[in-house]
Structure 1
Amino acid sequence: MADVVRWGTPRARAVLAATILGSGMAMLDSTVVNVALPSIGAELGADVAGLQWVLDGYLLSLASLILVAGSLGDRYGRRRVFVLGVVWFGAASLLCGLAPNTGLLVAARVLQGVGGALLTPGSLAIIQSAFVRDDRARAIGAWSGLSGVATAVGPLVGGLLVQAWSWRLAFLVNLPVAVACGWLARRCVPESRDPSATGRPDVAGSVLGALGLAGITGALVEAPARGADALVVASGAAGVAGLTAFVLLQRRAKNPLVPPPLFRNTTFALANGLTFLVYAALGGVLVLMVLHLQVSLGYPPTAAGLASLPITLTMLALSARSGRLAQRIGPRTQLVVGPLLVAAGMLLLRRAEPGVGYLDGVLPGVLVFGLGLATVVAPVTATVLAAAPDRYAGVASGVNNAVARTGSLVAVAVLPAVAGLTGSAYSDPVALTQGWRTALLVCASAAAVGGLLALGTDNDVLRPAGPGRDCHSCGVDAPPSRTRT
């Protein structure tokens, strides 16, 4: 029990700092590149598909490998795998910053996603295993809020870096952060693992999942420009076959990446469904917003980043409180209301058109958008983890992170085509404005459906176990989660 961490202690602050720096670095890099896309496209001569691959190359390897990474942490030590991921991420960031062309940049982004996959589930699993039960929701709230801020502040940081020198700084800035994070983790984070995890990780399942996502993503990205040619059809068919084989393997494997019993819990399944839809909507809007502000409204890169600052401030101020509120009253209300507020904010952002000022065209939407994210992010993360036994902390975290990244991956792959943005259309203000309005309708609908899913979640999932309450297993110290019937 010497390594148990309690809220408010110096050790707790150090553990939170290390995990927030690590996950925040990965989250930041998934959005900081957005504002640099016009500069990348101009310098490297990339079309829409090339820019999609700059984003999706990272998301693809992150989403594909995050499950096996969580399993590796459970088996070999969560801190050990986390530190490995931090070092890998920093090295790949250096390669991104030095890339001379689009192809090598995409390859470096894929490698960067591998590092992100190693460190992201470990950060949340470390909190879940290190903090005492009564402090976990509060710690997760702080982690969610500050890590989420990294996602929202990405466009601002990207804008400042692009204007200061080059889009390459958006990657090179990760190097000092990785050094600080690795030092803190080695010095202050307690090691933890699942003592019941035996055997080898499900490498075959990881490969099938990666191939499945890669095939489907390739088909979605390339289809608008290439049509239904042999490569697109083959890629899509291989993707469907890979994901089908992945599901079948998980049902039969001795040590699956995704233990099927996890999804028999209704709350776990619905909370992950909500995560997929909200993060798809979030990823789609953040990608197009900075393009729209720069190309259609004429904002310079820094101003385009500053436009989303209210999202950052709202999440910073309210996310930790949102986590505590969910623990006190149950998460269901916030899981329903939060996505609906996100959807409302997106609809308000349809007013951001050429000729409209920031105060009346952009600010109302980003304020409501930020309030919705602050309402839902911490409670949905805590709900997913509380609905799983503690021994599956790394796996549950990996599943939730994989679901979130897959949502963003699908949005980036699909949304430009749905919005009518192909080829070099992203550089045409008229086409981009029309595509922006269409994309917002699609993303708002996805977020609203996510909120409706939350109506079926267990509102008692975050409450401490007591006499007569159901629990996962008599031998597991985990929050109760009753499957609704």
Structure 2
Amino acid sequence: MSVGSSATPSRFGAILACALVGAGTVLGLSGIDLVLPAIPQLPEILGGEAAAAQLVIAAFVAGTAGGLLLFGALGGRYGRRYALVAALAAYAALSFLAARAETMPSLIILRFFQGVAASAPAVFAPGIIRTLFDEIGATKALGVLASVESLVPAGAPVVGVWLLTLGDWTLSFTITAVLAALLAVSFIFAGRVLPPDTGSGAGGSYARLLGSSVYMRYALTQALVLGGLLVFVFGAPAVIVRTMGGSLQDFIVMQVSGVTCFIVASNVTGWLVGRFGAERLILTGTTMALLSALALLSYAVAGGKDPGWLPYLFVPMNVGLGLRGPPGFLRAIIAGGGDDHRAASLMILAITGVSAGGTALFAPFIESGLLALSLAATAIQGLAVLLLLVLPPLQAVPKTGPGNGPKDAVGD
């Protein structure tokens, strides 16, 4: 089997294709969290200040942002199979070189390009899933993928700590190199399980997507709902410990409760889409996220200081994201009018921008506690609901699945 094979995959092949691109996406995401436990040791080992060690993470994030735009454009020009193999091979080589870095600056440079390569699976996964299944099947697959991805920030640092007990800081990079190389080889020899390229994005552009109010309806609201949730999560530890008299244990309970409910909700969306329709589910989930933020804001205004209430108030935001996440992501890809890779990369970049920008804007008000944090979340989730009500939806969802290439769905 070759990378260029174009046969339509069987049901088993479709599941295997999802497993491969899912593994690639998870491996890319773990590039941050797997390395985190080793960061405090790096200044002593490689030289430099603690601030420089933080650039090891920042460089990877910056590279990922650039890689999203790069692979969004390259996928339509050269084909996602070749791009995936090349990116995973580069990720393996760069990880191998990072494990042998002797100075902090050299590691930071390698981490930037490592981030570029690591972004490819996340760009191509939604388009591949969309081509393999009909709308309900693709929604289910995206729900499973989102569930696995949600476990990475919690699980990867634990694995990173375990690897430090087995070796030194280089071991996480070496393991990443081996896994990325194995995935690249798997895509070479199992190329037939991937759906054939349909010329997706060959004549598209980012400007075209940004000018489509239909695409922006789904992409922006997806970015706002997830980004708003992440802004709350990123600010919660400081708020709980510094202003509510709680501990990190309270934050962990809130996070575990939220992630668990998100996983359950995202895995029933396929059935719910078939019963109630994607648009109703997207609006319901977005509204739930807003109501959760309003509940947190109301508790803060009432002077609430007990962090034990946060899981109950925050869980509906996670459920709302779980309900609207898979169908919203899928409809953004469909609204891209066949430009699947750019549509996915632009949306992921928007999610990163909302979460990073919202966190930066909130930072000066961290001492104001839950009031400021919940107000920020409410503003972001409220904007998501407003955009859903104002921007036009897809008028018709083109048939997808094996043998059905994407059709132009950009409405304006």
Same fold, TM-score > 0.5, yes or no: yes
> Which residue does the alignment assign to 1:77?
79
Distance of 2:383 and 2:124 partners within structure 1: 29
> Which residue does the alignment assign to 2:113?
111
The answer to whether residue 407 in structure 2 is matched with residue 478 in structure 1 is: yes
Task: Report the CA distance shift for 1:170/1:448 in structure 2 as closer, same or farther (over 3 A).
Answer: farther
How far the C-alpha of 1:25 sits from its partner, in A, is 2.6
- Listed as ranges, the matches of 1:220-259 within 5 Å are 257-259=205-207
| 1:15 aligned residue (14, 17, 21) | 17
Give secondary structure in 1 for the equivalent of 2:194.
coil
> Which residue does the alignment assign to 1:125?
127
Distance of 1:94 and 1:315 partners within structure 2: 35
Give secondary structure in 2 for the equivalent of 1:308.
helix
The answer to whether residue 248 in structure 2 is matched with residue 299 in structure 1 is: yes
RMSD: 4.2
Task: Report the CA distance shift for 1:185/1:365 in structure 2 as closer, same or farther (over 3 A).
Answer: farther
> Which residue does the alignment assign to 2:8?
4
> Which residue does the alignment assign to 1:319?
266
> Which residue does the alignment assign to 2:373?
439
| Cα-to-partner distance string for 1:335-357 (whole Å, 9 max, x where unaligned) | 33323433444566687999956
Task: Report the CA distance shift for 1:437/1:112 in structure 2 as closer, same or farther (over 3 A).
Answer: farther
> Which residue does the alignment assign to 1:363?
311
Instruction: Answer whether contact 1:61 1:111 (CA < 8 A) is retained.
Output: yes
How far the C-alpha of 1:78 sits from its partner, in A, is 0.5
Instruction: Answer whether contact 2:230 2:355 (CA < 8 A) is retained.
Output: yes
Higher relative contact order (CA closer than 8 Å, sequence separation 6+): 2
Give secondary structure in 1 for the equivalent of 2:87.
helix
> Which residue does the alignment assign to 1:419?
365
Task: Report the CA distance shift for 1:437/1:90 in structure 2 as closer, same or farther (over 3 A).
Answer: farther
| Cα-to-partner distance string for 1:215-265 (whole Å, 9 max, x where unaligned) | xxxxxxxxxxxxxxxxxxxxxxxxxxxxxxxxxxxxxxxx664152x3443
Aligned identity (percent) is: 17
Task: Report the CA distance shift for 1:283/1:50 in structure 2 as closer, same or farther (over 3 A).
Answer: farther
Give secondary structure in 2 for the equivalent of 1:389.
coil
Instruction: Answer whether contact 2:32 2:60 (CA < 8 A) is retained.
Output: yes
Distance of 1:29 and 1:122 partners within structure 2: 18
The answer to whether residue 50 in structure 2 is matched with residue 46 in structure 1 is: yes
> Which residue does the alignment assign to 1:428?
none
What amino acid does structure 2 have at the position aligned with 1:185?
Answer: F
Distance of 1:362 and 1:40 partners within structure 2: 34
How far the C-alpha of 1:462 sits from its partner, in A, is 6.0
Instruction: Answer whether contact 1:78 1:191 (CA < 8 A) is retained.
Output: no
| 2:255 aligned residue (308, 312, 317) | 308
What amino acid does structure 2 have at the position aligned with 1:288?
Answer: G
| 2:229 aligned residue (256, 260, 282) | 282
What amino acid does structure 2 have at the position aligned with 1:377?
Answer: G
Instruction: Answer whether contact 1:27 1:147 (CA < 8 A) is retained.
Output: no
Task: Report the CA distance shift for 1:165/1:409 in structure 2 as closer, same or farther (over 3 A).
Answer: same
What amino acid does structure 2 have at the position aligned with 1:81?
Answer: A
- In structure 1, runs of 5+ residues without a counterpart are 199-254, 421-430, 466-474
How far the C-alpha of 1:381 sits from its partner, in A, is 0.9
What amino acid does structure 1 have at the position aligned with 2:347?
Answer: N
How far the C-alpha of 1:46 sits from its partner, in A, is 3.5
Task: Report the CA distance shift for 1:138/1:364 in structure 2 as closer, same or farther (over 3 A).
Answer: same
Instruction: Answer whether contact 2:62 2:112 (CA < 8 A) is retained.
Output: yes
Query: What is the TM-score of this pair, normalised by structure 2?
Result: 0.75
> Which residue does the alignment assign to 1:62?
64
Q: When the two structures are aligned, how many residues end up with a matched partner? A: 391
Instruction: Answer whether contact 1:58 1:112 (CA < 8 A) is retained.
Output: yes
| 1:182 aligned residue (184, 190, 207) | 184
> Which residue does the alignment assign to 1:193?
197
Distance of 1:2 and 1:194 partners within structure 2: 10
> Which residue does the alignment assign to 1:141?
140
Task: Report the CA distance shift for 1:194/1:162 in structure 2 as closer, same or farther (over 3 A).
Answer: same
What amino acid does structure 1 have at the position aligned with 2:73?
Answer: S
Instruction: Answer whether contact 2:129 2:141 (CA < 8 A) is retained.
Output: no
How far the C-alpha of 1:369 sits from its partner, in A, is 2.9
Distance of 2:37 and 2:373 partners within structure 1: 20
Give secondary structure in 2 for the equivalent of 1:75.
helix
Distance of 1:40 and 1:344 partners within structure 2: 43
Distance of 2:275 and 2:57 partners within structure 1: 38
| Cα-to-partner distance string for 1:11-32 (whole Å, 9 max, x where unaligned) | 1110110111112233344566
The answer to whether residue 153 in structure 2 is matched with residue 154 in structure 1 is: yes
How far the C-alpha of 1:87 sits from its partner, in A, is 3.1
